[in-house]
Amino acid sequence: MRVANIFRLGIKELRSLWRDRMMVVLILWAFTASVYVAASGVPETLNKAPIAIVDEDQSSLSQRITSAFYPPYFMPPALISQKQIDSAMDQGTFTFVLDIPPNFQRDLLAGRNPAIQLDVDATRMAQAFSGNGYIQRIVSSEVSRFVGRDQPGAALPIDLVVRSRFNPNLTALWFGAVMQIINHVTLLSIILTGAALIREREHGTVEHLLVMPVTPFEIMAAKVWSMGSVVLVATWLSLIFVVEGAMRVPIQGSIALFLVGTAAHLFATTSMGIFLGTFARSMPQFGLLVILTIVPLQLLSGGSTPRESMPVIVQDVMLAAPTTHFVKLAQGILYRGADLGVVWPQLLAIIAIGAVFYAIALAQFRKSINTMA
Whether residue 130 has pLDDT greater than 90: no
pLDDT bucket at 355, cuts 50 / 70 / 90? very high
| Strand ranges inside 39-180, DSSP E | 51-55, 78-79, 96-100, 117-120
Tell me what pLDDT residue 185 has. Answer: 92
Residues 276-287: tens digit of each pLDDT: 988 888 888 888
Residues 294-318: tens digit of each pLDDT: 888 888 888 777 788 788 898 899 9
Cα separation, 189 vs 186, in Å, equals 5
DSSP lists the bridge partners of residue 49 as 74
Domains of the chain in start order, with CATH, are 2-41+171-372 (no CATH), 51-147 (3.40.1710.10)
Whether residue 170 has pLDDT greater than 80: no
User: Dihedral through CA 144, CA 145, CA 148, CA 150, nearest 10?
Assistant: 160
Cα separation, 307 vs 182, in Å, equals 17
- pTM score, whole prediction: 0.76
Beta carbons within 8 Å of 104's beta carbon, 6+ residues apart: 56, 57, 59, 61, 62, 114, 116
Most distant CA pair in the chain: distance in Å?
95
Residues 256-300: tens digit of each pLDDT: 999 999 999 999 999 999 999 888 888 888 889 998 898 888 888
Whether residue 208 has pLDDT greater than 80: no
